[in-house]
Structure 1
Amino acid sequence: MTDLPRLTAAQAAARLGVKPESLYAYVSRGLLSRVRDASGSSFDPLEVEAFALSRRRRVAPRAVETSGGGMPLMVLDTALAHLEDDELFYRERSAARLARESTFEDVVRWLWEAPGLRGADDEDLALARRTAATLGAAATPLDRLLVAVTAFASTDPLRDDPGADALVRVGSRLITGLPAALTHAPTAAESIAATLWGALAGRPSDSGPRLVDAALVLVVDHDLAVSTLSARVAASARGSAYAVVTAALGAFDAPLHGHASREAARLLHAVAGGTPPAAAIARAVRDGGRGIPGFGQPLYAGGDMRATVLLELLRDAPGGAEIVDVVDAVATEVARHADIRPNLDLALAALTRWGDMGEDAGSVVFAIGRMAGWIAHAIDEYGRRPMRLRPRGRYVGPAAAE
């Protein structure tokens, strides 16, 4: 694959998280190959990616903890999401079945034990829309969501009320009002998914809202992701529902979490536009420096079931098979180099491409769906001892001068 974009030695070392000396030690031991020319050494990005994944599997637990590989700092009891045999459950119910058979609103009412979801009134919604619209063209949809949360909070005289009832009231206001704040179209009789489709999609579709509905259900909760932990920390300090969501969005608005579907969307766009999968993957690894976009989920041994469900539903939609074929072509090429499978981010990217949405649309769907999970976790945390999520630090800096 001499025609593919290649990594410099510095890029390869950065991807592996090692010093250049270690990189060349791998070369001398025959673990990595390189090409040398007048400009220096270069490396095959897919070979480097496969090697990075193999090292991750072999690394000791303590090394994972210190290298940012996801070793938990704490283990918290949770009564919301859990995994069994690669199947995701919300409490005792299959997330896959809920996505296929239930609406997002039904799932939220069940998780929150709420009789209904009451949205914001017209005046508050108008303010949120005006506030979001003041941001410049460079603002992302998540930027608009964040300022809209602040706008809704500013008009809520009961925003600091404590207790689970207040969390449900404000959560209802946000998950119905935020999608509406992204569009000026009428939303009175529409579902949350239909409102999001109207705000994000580039065309009308009978199937679109149903697919967005399924995606919203699939992203509600997934163990203790960093945004969910942030939500629980804010709730532990008895922050309001607005504070909980704002804290969670701060952690969510990051390339390794909420924005991960953006790079996956760019990858699919390149392949759909005619770039060979191998070249598109190699370029994504080289330019992103964080692995293959849309692939790998360490909580699953056999692949991310959320991606499987959403891609199956997408394939059955009118015109959906075409974009799923692009996903399959990319997955086939990845499988030639590394034992990793598509994850939720790739499935969200496929959905956004099928719907003629912007590359950040997957992040918006993800944020709105996960917001329901953040509120559910906050409700649970409100029932526990305040400030219990306040860890103690252990000083490891330089010794004080004598």
Structure 2
Amino acid sequence: MRSPWMTSEQAAEALGVRLSTLYAYVSRGVVAREVTTGPGGQRVSRFRRDDVLALARARSRPRAGAMPLIESEVTQLDASGRLAFREVDVSDCADRGFEWTACHVLGLSDAMWSSTACDEPGPGEAAGADAVRWTVMRCAARDERRDSLQPEHCRDVAVTAVAVSVAALTGAQDGTVAQRLARAWTPASAGGAWFESVTRALDVALSVLVDHELTASTLAARTAAGVGADPWMVLLTGLAAMSGRAQAGASRAATAALRTWISTRTVPDAPVPGFGHKVYVGPDPRAAPLLERVAAVSPETADAVDEFAVRVAREYSVYPNIDVALAALTLAADLPADAGEVVFTLARIPGLMAHALEEYPHGLRLRPRALA
């Protein structure tokens, strides 16, 4: 008689997923596990056979009108604070820089990243994050291969969208994305170690924001890909969905809260902008590497954030997230008020396209039903 339990390897094989995906299911509450002690004293995970087989049946026979489980290899995260892009930890991605991270997520060689794929460097008819959305629309209208869903074209669209958008925002085509933003946002007289610190902080911010699994904007982009929208429109769909104050624009409220703390040492009522997260029970793993770089730009701002975080943790038991880290960078380097939103919007373009590349082969499957 078969055991009522399965090992991790057996459960992953029954579900047709990798072990990392199985553990992601556990962290999200999709399937339960029991941890026991093995013969050698080591901790061993086991899964109820009936639970695993029931999940396997649910995955293989989607009910009419039900939202299917979405498997993705782009990002791995769990509530404990782990975040990785294609199995590379987010801190390592921050060290390697935005261009490397974007190429890694897209499945490109970093030698294929182009910072000059642009013939329209002016600011055009929009500013800030609107300039990115405006640029995507203009590029779509001019792309002779617009209808192509081939992977190489989709990857080229993502690289081009970033390059042309940065040129539209800064008027410059030379240098990394972070370098061009730093030159555009800091005084012309700035230079030396301080300018390099700002540039490095911007690069870290871009790197850690490339993707964050199935956010609302990512799901919107995947839905557009499911109906066969061209890659430009997939990007525009995702960019539109992230444009609200709860995602790309969230750093504005965090900046205001941090500014108030610095001037009055006053903590706002919960929920405190820039603290807590729907996924992580502890600190946001994206915040630490960015705040470390902020300290090199302005030690005083970094100290203020530390004091703010201690006070918020004491009063509300929540931790800093990426929004307060972007707010700290904005204040430390005296960046434009919308700098956090612009960085967020630019950074997420490669991630949106990586998800689209995964979704295109599935066709129309993301069709939930409403309760009447």
TM-score relative to the length of structure 1: 0.70
For 1:338, give the aligned amino acid: Y
* Contact preservation (8 Å) 1:277, 1:330: no
Question: 1:153 aligns to what SS in structure 2?
Answer: helix
Alignment of 1:104-183 (within 5 A): 104-115=98-109, 116-119=112-115, 121-126=117-122, 129-132=123-126, 141-183=128-170
**Partners of 1:187 and 1:275 in 2: how far apart?**
42
For 1:109, give the aligned amino acid: C
Q: Percentage identity across aligned positions?
A: 32
Alignment of 1:22-171 (within 5 A): 75-84=69-78, 85-100=80-95, 102-115=96-109, 116-119=112-115, 121-126=117-122, 129-132=123-126, 141-171=128-158
Q: What stretches of structure 1 of length at least 5 have no aligned partner?
A: 1-60, 62-71, 134-140, 286-290, 397-402
**1:333–1:244 Cα change, 3 Å:** same
Question: 1:265 aligns to what SS in structure 2?
Answer: helix
Pick the aligned partner of 2:362 from 385, 389, 392: 385
Alignment correspondent of 1:214: 204
For 2:261, give the aligned amino acid: V
**Partners of 2:92 and 2:117 in 1: how far apart?**
33
1:311 is the counterpart of 2:291? yes
C-alpha distance after superposition, 1:149-204 (max 9, x if no partner): 212222222222221111111111011111121122x322x001112222334563
Tell me how far 1:395 sits from its aligned partner. Answer: 4.5
Pick the aligned partner of 1:300 from 280, 297, 303: 280
Pick the aligned partner of 1:187 from 169, 173, 183: 173
Tell me how far 1:74 sits from its aligned partner. Answer: 5.3
Alignment of 1:284-295 (within 5 A): 291-295=271-275
Alignment correspondent of 2:58: none
Tell me how far 1:248 sits from its aligned partner. Answer: 0.5
* Contact preservation (8 Å) 1:119, 1:176: yes
* Contact preservation (8 Å) 1:258, 1:363: yes
Alignment correspondent of 1:277: 266
**Partners of 1:373 and 1:149 in 2: how far apart?**
15
**Partners of 1:309 and 1:302 in 2: how far apart?**
15
Tell me how far 1:243 sits from its aligned partner. Answer: 0.3
C-alpha distance after superposition, 1:328-374 (max 9, x if no partner): 22212212321101101000111111121122110111111111100
Alignment correspondent of 1:197: 182
**Partners of 1:130 and 1:375 in 2: how far apart?**
24
C-alpha distance after superposition, 1:48-87 (max 9, x if no partner): xxxxxxxxxxxxx9xxxxxxxxxx9653111111125422
For 2:244, give the aligned amino acid: A
**Partners of 2:181 and 2:300 in 1: how far apart?**
23
Tell me how far 1:293 sits from its aligned partner. Answer: 0.3
1:322 is the counterpart of 2:300? yes
For 1:255, give the aligned amino acid: R
For 1:306, give the aligned amino acid: R
* Contact preservation (8 Å) 2:115, 2:173: no
Question: 1:292 aligns to what SS in structure 2?
Answer: coil
Tell me how far 1:377 sits from its aligned partner. Answer: 0.7
* Contact preservation (8 Å) 2:186, 2:333: yes
For 1:229, give the aligned amino acid: L
**1:229–1:363 Cα change, 3 Å:** same
TM-score relative to the length of structure 2: 0.75
For 2:119, give the aligned amino acid: E
**Partners of 1:367 and 1:161 in 2: how far apart?**
24
Question: 1:89 aligns to what SS in structure 2?
Answer: strand
* Contact preservation (8 Å) 2:201, 2:293: yes
**Partners of 2:250 and 2:68 in 1: how far apart?**
24
**1:122–1:178 Cα change, 3 Å:** closer
- The count of corresponding residues between Structure 1 and Structure 2 is 300
Tell me how far 1:113 sits from its aligned partner. Answer: 2.0
Alignment of 1:317-396 (within 5 A): 317-318=296-297, 320-382=298-360, 384-391=361-368, 393-396=369-372
Tell me how far 1:267 sits from its aligned partner. Answer: 1.3
Tell me how far 1:239 sits from its aligned partner. Answer: 1.3
**Partners of 1:175 and 1:122 in 2: how far apart?**
10
For 2:97, give the aligned amino acid: T
1:236 is the counterpart of 2:226? yes
Q: What stretches of structure 2 of length at least 5 have no aligned partner?
A: 1-29, 31-65
* Contact preservation (8 Å) 2:121, 2:164: yes
Q: Root-mean-square deviation (CA), in Å?
A: 2.1
- Larger CA deviation: 170-179 vs 150-159: 150-159
**Partners of 2:181 and 2:217 in 1: how far apart?**
21
